[in-house]
């Protein structure tokens, strides 16, 4: 192989990805003077990464397999634009050896390892075989080529339940199932294979012993084409849900200095087994005593910013310099660990509804300024649309501080000051998670979120006096700003009238709860708010994204968003969604019964799990949809008979479409 074609200086870079990581790569590449090329699907025509790049090429329809996973179209996009190199980001084709090989064959520099390195380490099965020969400790399991049901079942029995069934080619929790008995194994394999094929185009599985109460620790490595290989300390990624990382931090609060050096040395040994070139991550699982190799991710990780913040190293810049054929800028003993960093992944999902993905237009996008140790890596803006076709991650909020406790406080402040509307996000859930006493005490394992889910997704507090006053103030503030936009008039001044005083009544409710009433007195003299027997003087000072509300001499900062009669408020007491009851009546609401078995979001029917006429217990699975690259199983809302199924496997269904009818037994 002509190595000069592998690593050489280039001026034009195509980013074969979308969303936050595409934006992230574009920023560093442009800072290095490179011309950047974005690619996009029909669903991403107006996306942020398209706007940021110097040029952009349409790949095809919305579905990833017709656009971002289409190797031929990506190579053609590079050819059309004169791109000399390709950065794959993470996800999609970032660990696909065939894509790396296709780039090489097309004369493009692939910003990452070679196809051979990727094959050796990118496959969970292949890397385990390699690590076994190198003497790196492994979790007991099966990682062979035979993929028939009998072989996998025999392997699981030999390892002993519980086992982990997971995709050999992927990551991010997709194609992964915990199986606790032989009876669960067959359906779990079928589902995992289907999900893996959809996400990665590869349904090969491996079987591992499931480690109870595990901790997830990973080490960032990067190597160059001159034989240099370094580790950039470790990250703790134990806070997960369904094997998907939620919070990541660096360094690990679990390890002492000696353990840190041992695991980093093991990671360098693992990557050195294939003379690794590029950025990669060696992942380990710990049972509290021993550390076992799980896999290597032959790409940049979602959580790479925490490593950047504790080392001061721009990993994307180092990736590009390695691709140029340069030597690493620092040697191992020159890399210093400074402080602590922690990251939260912001998703378009509803934690109170089993983390169901949320789609739609982002009507409000307010994130805090990147100051005081706070960093925001985002892939969306106000006005962007979150589609059902791709991963639901919107942004990452990352905080750095000299100590872990201060980093947690900074991250929480950043989350508390974030307001995203038009879709549902996991921001309140993230804030509840990182402020949990056991998280602060590092008394966690990978099952922590599932155990504490009820606490972490508990109902928001009821609005109090401050929130009711803020609701009226928000309406008055918006009306005043609208009046100020009109021609000069004395009515522009809030509460102005020639003589006397008047009263205006308001009523608010949360959901279908009772109405809470408050009155506004205005005119000559101070304006006041009346709740029950209490009368409170108040003033409003407008500012970006909300206002300062001074209530009986106490000033409070309020963030507010008004959409018709729906109000969103953020006060010192938390976040609140209120409905302003129409003072003139005429309200009508559509009530959809919980027994309606309908598509929660646009998706594809991938499995029908029950037959018409079958008697079902409450919670029995009926069919499975693939939504945002993850599977969602719809279940019977009550005991009954499956009267009809209104769809078939392969159907693409829209949100709200009825898919099945269950007739209650009357019990």
Distances in Å between the Cα of 69 and the Cα atoms of 57, 91, 98 are 14, 10, 11
Compute how many other C-beta atoms are within 10 angstroms of the C-beta atom of residue 272. 14
What is d(CA 264, CA 259) in angstroms, rounded to the nearest whole number?
A: 8
Residue 71 in tokens: 């190797």
346 sits in which H/E element: strand 340-347
Q: Choose, from 299, 421, 480, 570, the residue flagged as catalytic.
A: 299
Distances in Å between the Cα of 475 and the Cα atoms of 296, 493, 658 are 54, 14, 38
Residue 404 in tokens: 């872990």
Pairing of strands 528-531, 516-523: antiparallel
- Is 504 marked active-site? no
Give me the DSSP letters along 281-320.
EEEEEE-SS-EEEEEEE-S--TTHHHHHHHHT--HHHHHH
Assign 3-class secondary structure to 492-506.
HCCCCCCCCEEEEEE
Q: Is 443 helix (H, G, I), strand (E, B) or coil?
A: coil
Distances in Å between the Cα of 628 and the Cα atoms of 341, 444, 654 are 29, 28, 13
Q: Is 465 helix (H, G, I), strand (E, B) or coil?
A: helix
Q: Would you report the helix, strand and coil content of the chain in percent, each value rounded to 5?
A: 30, 35, 40
Residue 140 in tokens: 């007991």
Check residue 370 and report its DSSP letter. Answer: S
Residues involved in catalysis: 299
């Amino acid at each position: 192989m002509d190595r000069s074609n592998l690593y050489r200086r280039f001026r034009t870079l195509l980013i074969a990805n979308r969303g936050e990581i595409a934006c992230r790569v574009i920023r560093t590449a442009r800072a290095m003077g490179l011309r950047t090329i974005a690619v996009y699907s029909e669903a991403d025509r107006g996306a942020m990464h398209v706007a940021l790049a110097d040029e952009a090429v349409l790949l095809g329809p919305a579905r990833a397999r017709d656009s971002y996973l289409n190797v031929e179209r990506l190579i053609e996009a590079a050819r059309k634009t004169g791109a000399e190199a390709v950065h794959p980001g993470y996800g999609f084709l970032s660990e696909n050896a065939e894509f790396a090989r296709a780039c090489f064959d097309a004369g493009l520099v692939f910003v990452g390892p070679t196809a051979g390195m990727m094959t050796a380490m990118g496959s969970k099965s292949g890397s385990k075989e390699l690590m076994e020969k190198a003497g790196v400790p492994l979790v007991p399991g099966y990682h062979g080529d035979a993929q028939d049901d009998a072989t996998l079942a025999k392997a699981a029995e030999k390892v002993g339940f519980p086992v982990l069934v997971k995709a050999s080619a992927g990551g991010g929790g997709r194609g992964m199932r915990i199986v606790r008995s032989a009876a669960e194994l067959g359906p779990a394999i079928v589902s995992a294979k289907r999900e893996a094929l959809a996400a990665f185009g590869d349904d090969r599985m491996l079987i591992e012993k499931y480690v109870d109460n595990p901790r997830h620790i990973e080490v960032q490595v990067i190597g160059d084409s001159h034989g240099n290989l370094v580790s950039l300390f470790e990250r703790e990624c134990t806070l997960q849900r369904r094997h998907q990382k939620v919070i990541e931090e660096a360094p690990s609060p679990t390890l002492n200095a000696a353990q840190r050096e041992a695991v980093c040395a093991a990671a360098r040994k693992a990557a050195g087994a294939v003379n690794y070139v590029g950025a990669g991550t060696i992942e380990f699982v710990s049972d509290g005593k021993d550390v076992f190799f799980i896999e290597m991710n032959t790409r940049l990780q979602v959580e790479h910013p925490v490593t950047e913040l504790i080392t001061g190293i721009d990993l994307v810049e180092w990736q590009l310099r390695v691709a140029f054929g340069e030597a690493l800028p620092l040697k191992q003993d020159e890399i210093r660990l400074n402080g602590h960093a922690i990251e939260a992944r912001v998703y378009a999902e509803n934690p109170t509804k089993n983390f169901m993905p949320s789609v739609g237009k982002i009507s409000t996008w307010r994130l805090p300024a990147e100051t005081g140790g706070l960093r925001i890596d985002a892939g969306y803006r106000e006005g962007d649309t979150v589609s059902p076709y791709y991963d639901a991650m919107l942004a990452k909020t990352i905080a750095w501080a000299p100590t872990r406790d201060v980093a947690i406080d900074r991250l929480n402040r950043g989350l508390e000051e974030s307001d995203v509307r038009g879709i549902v996000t996991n921001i309140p859930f993230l804030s509840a998670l990182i402020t949990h006493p056991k998280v602060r005490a590092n008394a966690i394992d990978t099952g922590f979120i599932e155990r504490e889910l009820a606490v972490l997704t508990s109902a928001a507090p009821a609005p109090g006096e401050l929130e009711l006053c803020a609701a009226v103030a928000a309406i008055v503030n918006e009306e005043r700003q609208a009046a100020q936009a009109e021609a000069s008039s004395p009515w522009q001044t809030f509460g102005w009238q020639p003589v006397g005083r008047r009263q205006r009544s308001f009523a608010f409710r949360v959901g279908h709860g009772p109405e809470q009433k408050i009155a506004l007195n205005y005119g000559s003299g101070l304006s006041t708010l009346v709740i029950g027997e209490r009368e409170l003087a108040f003033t409003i000072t407008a500012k970006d994204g909300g206002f300062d509300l001074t209530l009986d001499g106490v000033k409070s900062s309020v963030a507010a968003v008004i959409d018709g009669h729906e109000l969103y408020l953020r006060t010192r007491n938390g976040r609140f969604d209120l409905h302003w009851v129409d003072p003139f009546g005429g309200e009508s609401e559509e009530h959809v019964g919980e027994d309606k078995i309908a598509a929660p979001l646009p998706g594809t029917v991938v499995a029908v799990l029950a037959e018409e006429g079958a008697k079902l217990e409450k919670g029995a699975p009926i069919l499975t949809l693939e939504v945002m690259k993850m599977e969602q199983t719809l279940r019977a809302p009550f005991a009954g008979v499956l009267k009809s199924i209104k769809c078939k496997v392969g159907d693409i269904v829209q949100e709200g479409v009825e898919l099945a009818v269950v007739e209650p037994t009357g019990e």
